Chain A
Amino acid sequence: MGYELVIGLETHVELSTESKLFCSCGGHSSANEPNDCVCPACSGMPGMLPVVNRHAIELAVKAGLMLNCKINQYTTFDKKSYYYPDLPAAYQTTQWFHPICVEGLVDVEVAGETRQIGIKQIHVEEDAGKLVHTNDSSLVDYNRTSVPLIEIVTKPDFRSSAEVISYLKALKSKLQFAGISECEEGAMRCDINISVRPEGSEVLGVRTEIKNMSSLTSIEEAINKEAIRHIDAIERRTEILVQETRRWDDVKKRTFPMRNKETAADYRYFPDPNVMPVVIDDEWLAEIKADMPATVSEQIEKYMSLGLSEKEANAAAAEANLSAILDGVIAKGIEAKTAAGWLLTDGLGILKKNNIQPKDLVLDTDKFAWIINAANKGEITRNAGKTVLTAVILENVDPESYCKENNLTAQNDIELVKSVVAKAIENNPKAIEDYKAGKEKAILAVFGAAMRELRGTASPDLINKLLKEMIS
């Protein structure tokens, strides 16, 4: 008998705001020391009152728009009470009764097939602090306390771990693209709700929840392992499944139940009387919408209409930073296909070699456009272009003066190139002999010698042409 997996996800993402959700403290990423970014409000001192960060509201609305949600223009904040040392106020402010976005829909693509996943809701809430355990004590660091998060809750619409991974990858690129979240490593945390049922059944099986997962590899493994555990329990009666919360052990590669004590809380939710309901009127909503960048699929469509291949369009659109640079040089009059070639072949190559993430690439579009134009006009060769692009990316040099200082300007003096080629032929008699004997590749040594001598300033085509003429 076949089984069907039923999975729902709750994904926590940190919002890219300057300050925390209810106070003006900077985000924890600006902290150097524990408890650097802490004030009386986010450390749970009496007398403080929360004031809502409007930017967090705007970013949450953008996330909702990205995921085709209905935006609740009347949204409220509620208190969730529990005791834990990383929660200084002993309550977390979240959205329980009127979340900011509801009823969304997002496509996931697996092996060329597209399915739709429903988004139940997106709500805004505060993060908790961090505990640091030493041998004989535990220390608290409130830098992260009250940093704004959104929690994106899907409907139980996933049917495989591959769909989950595809969704998370797409979600990450969407959120980064719209500047909603930087989605730093480990900053996207998932709770996975999972059950299995016989194929064709409409009845849901016993559901378990795997808490606090962040790496995609672990998420995939955990889902697959948990599915096997469920199926074994059903088919072979290895155990009795109960609805419970579990954790993933990344070393033993299995899930295990959390202590009951950790899960049995009654959170006593109630509306926070200190935070007035947030009303997102039509005017504000329109402003937020106007500030949205084109979606990834809109970008892909645009690039393909400009002549990029599907592969190029996908690669450029997937990373907001690349997409912004590409749009920048296109706006400066560079033909899209040419610009994409420079950015995605040469640019990404340079990044890879120097271990730079595409999202961290800083590239002045004026300088980039100058390089491409110079190469197009034959003022520098492609090769020299790549050298100067490297220098611009790594050291932000001025490309024009860099070319002059390093003699990278293209060598259009045919006589000079001829003499260099002749010298290369003279210095490599063995290679010429082999070439004439039919070993076509042997000529590459001669070609390389000439290129080296000219430091890439002459076009490879020109050298090739002269070489072949002079040998025969």
Chain B
Amino acid sequence: MRYITEINKNGNIAVDDNILVKDVLASAGSHILDSFAPLFSAEAVERLEKSGYTISGKANVGEFGLDLLGETSYYGIDTENGNLKNAAASLVSSGDVEAALCVDLNGAPRRAAAAEDIIFIKPTYSTVSRYGVIACACSGEQIGVMAKNAKKAAEILSVIAGHDDKDGTSDLKEAYDYSLNDTVKGKKVCIIKELVEDASDEVKKSVADYKQKLIDLGATVEEISFKNLDAAMSAWQILLSAETCNNLSKFDGVKYGYRTPNFKNIDDIYVNTRTEGMGFLAKATILYGSDALSKGRYEICYDKAMRIRRVITEEIKKIFENYDIILTAAASSKQFESYDLKDSFNKVFEESKYTVLASLSGCPAVVTNGVQLMADSFKDNTLLSIANATWEV
């Protein structure tokens, strides 16, 4: 299933179903938002429509976007030769739409773009309004753009980025330069070896090929080591889970969406609605987050995770004092076979290793040619320029 709700056959932009379009059903891939139609559109959607783009429909997503590639959607997911197929990436790759807006909260669109050999940019945190995103991990999630090439991604991003009064965390700049005018020549690139060495041979080859392209275009490439990946992964898992636990609490069967038919009192409504309305990964994330915030656990879990986030962000800043670009794998493997969803929590956690640095620090990340590039915050244009230059080689 590509669209959960189709809007316009001639539309040129697909949006993930966790991004709101006024009056169009929005499920975020979950049963619990059954029949929910929002009263307003996401700011990014509104800006696109004002600029003459047309939304084609609401692309299928994994429940609240928490998973690998969309496999936890209540509405089912496509597979091809046993491999998971992400809806938005398929729509872009097949040319059905020019681009798609996807919420990157734990790397799903980055993995999807790598699998389909298309481009995805998770822009610098705070540059695209999150108004109208069905939120999970507010402190790190970001609307990004999936497209067939860097030019199209830059075109769409320049429409949706810029300050929005309705998002209190929104950066104050009205617009950003995505003119693709930066060059590869002279760029200092580092490869984080821990984010390549355990990946599949196919992925390793993509990274090696890309490294060669960069060198051919005049960049210097070195290998570095990043020691604290385990801490970064744990910290992000705690923050993401805690925020998700809090953000999903509002889906309680009282106001809108699915309500259990099995209740005698308010507690039944809460418990049964949420038990029946959510899938395994959402529940596991909620439990994990609830624990991290509970009395006696907060200091050693959530508070510590915030401190780790600061330390990791500092470490990444230091890397960017010496290098312009970090090059890594985008995922452990190019394709993912479908699997028993009872393993989803652990599987996503393991896979977050490749995407966590940008999620945790808010720096921009671009997936292109099956690899991931990161740059310092607000250097999105450099990433897109490099993606554009390497695409043409």
Do they bind each other?
yes
- B-contacting residues of A (Cβ < 8 Å)? 40, 43-52, 79, 81, 83, 85, 88-91, 138, 140, 266, 268-271, 273-276
List 4 A-B pairs, minimum CB-CB distance, nearest first. A90-B249, A273-B139, A268-B293, A46-B134
**Which one of A45, A270, A276 lies within 8 Å of B298 (CB-CB)?**
A270
Which residue from chain A places its CB closest to the CB of B38 in the assembled complex?
Answer: A47
Quick one: which of A47, A83, A269, A270 has the most chain B CB within 10 A? A47
- Tell me the bound Cα distance from A56 to B165 in angstroms: 18
Residue pair B168, A276 in contact (C-beta under 8 Å): yes
Assess whether B264 is interfacial by the CB under 8 Å rule: no
Quick one: which of B119-141 are within 8 Å of A by CB?
Answer: 130-135, 138-139
B131 contact set on A, CB distance < 8 A:
47-49
CA of A83 to CA of B271, assembled, Å: 11
The chain A residue with its CB closest to the CB of B290 is A268
Q: Which of B39, B169, B298 interacts with A273 by CB under 8 Å?
A: B169
- Could you write out 10 A-B pairs with CB less than 8 Å apart? A44-B250, A46-B135, A46-B251, A47-B40, A47-B134, A49-B166, A51-B166, A91-B250, A138-B266, A268-B246
Check: B227 CB closer than 8 A to any chain A CB: no
User: How far, in angstroms, from A40 to B23 measured CA to CA in the complex?
Assistant: 13
B302 & A270 in contact (Cβ 8 Å cutoff): yes
Question: Chain B 334-369 against A: per-residue CB contact (8 Å), 1 yes, 0 no?
Answer: 000000000000000000000000000000000000
Which listed residue, A40, A89, A91, A270, touches B40 by the CB 8 Å rule? Answer: A40
Number of interface residues of B (CB under 8 A): 42
Encoded as 1 (CB less than 8 Å from any A CB) or 0, chain B from 291 to 317 comes to 001110010001000100000000000
Which chain B residues border A79 with CB–CB below 8 Å?
246
| B320 proximity list for chain A (CB < 8 A) | none
* B254 interface hit (Cβ, 8 Å): yes
Q: Which residue of A lies closest to B28 (CB)?
A: A46
User: Does residue B25 face the partner (Cβ distance < 8 Å to A)?
Assistant: no
In the bound assembly, the distance between CA atoms of A242 and B175 in angstroms comes to 60
Q: Please determine whether A49 and B167 come into contact, CB atoms closer than 8 angstroms.
A: yes
Instruction: Check if B50 is an interface residue, CB within 8 A of chain A.
Output: no
> In the complex, what residue of chain B is closest to A83 when comparing beta carbons?
B270
Name the residue among B36, B166, B254, B266 with the largest chain A CB count within 10 angstroms: B254
Interface SS, B side: loop
Name the distance in Å between A125's Cβ and chain B's nearest Cβ.
Answer: 16
**A443 → B minimal CB distance (Å):** 76
Cβ 8 A contact of B39, one of A40, A44, A52, A83: A40
Contacts of B39 in A (CB 8 A): 40, 45
Q: A40-B38, A90-B249 are in contact. Are A47 and B165 (CB under 8 A)?
A: no
- Chain B positions within 8 Å of A81 at CB level: 245-246, 249, 293
Q: Interface readout for B246-275 with A: 1 if CB under 8 Å, 0 if not?
A: 100111101110000000001000100000
B256 proximity list for chain A (CB < 8 A): 45
Q: What residues of A have a CB within 8 angstroms of the CB of B118 in the complex?
A: none
Asked if B98 is at the interface (CB within 8 A of a chain A CB), the reply is no
* Contacting pair A83 B38 (CB below 8 A): no
CB distance from B65 to the nearest CB of A (A): 12
Given A85-B266, A273-B138, A274-B138, also A46-B250 (CB < 8 A): yes
CA distance A81 to B168 in the complex (A): 21
Question: What is the CA–CA distance of A309 and B175 in the complex, to the nearest angstrom?
Answer: 64
In the complex, what distance in Å separates the CA atom of A51 from the CA atom of B130?
A: 13
Report which residue of A44, A46, A276 has the largest number of chain B beta carbons within 10 angstroms of its beta carbon.
A46
* Contact (Cβ within 8 A) A83 B252: yes
Cα–Cα distance between A270 and B166 once the two chains are bound (Å): 22
A468 to B134, CA, bound (A): 90
| Chain B residue contacts of A51, Cβ below 8 A | 165-168
CA distance A47 to B165 in the complex (A): 14
Point out which of B28, B243, B245, B255 has the most chain A C-beta atoms below 10 A from its C-beta. B255
* Chain B residues, Cβ within 8 Å of A275: 168
Please determine whether A45 and B38 come into contact, CB atoms closer than 8 angstroms: yes
Residues of the B chain whose Cβ atoms lie less than 8 Å from the Cβ of A52: 168
A472 CA to B135 CA, complexed, in Å: 95
Give the nearest-CB partner of B40 in chain A: A40
Report B122 CB to chain A, min CB distance, Å. Answer: 17
Interface string of B278-296 (1 = CB under 8 A from A): 0000000000001001110
| Shortest distance from the beta carbon of A145 to any chain B beta carbon, whole Å | 11
Measured CA separation A140–B254 after assembly (Å): 9
A270 CA / B266 CA spacing, docked (Å):
26
How distant is B207 from chain A, measured CB to nearest CB, in Å? 33
Q: Tell me the complex Cα distance, A466–B251, Å.
A: 86
Question: Considering only CB atoms, which chain A residue lies closest to B139 in the complex?
Answer: A273
Cross-chain contact A46 with B33 (CB below 8 angstroms): yes
Q: How far is the CB of A349 from chain B (nearest CB, A)?
A: 51
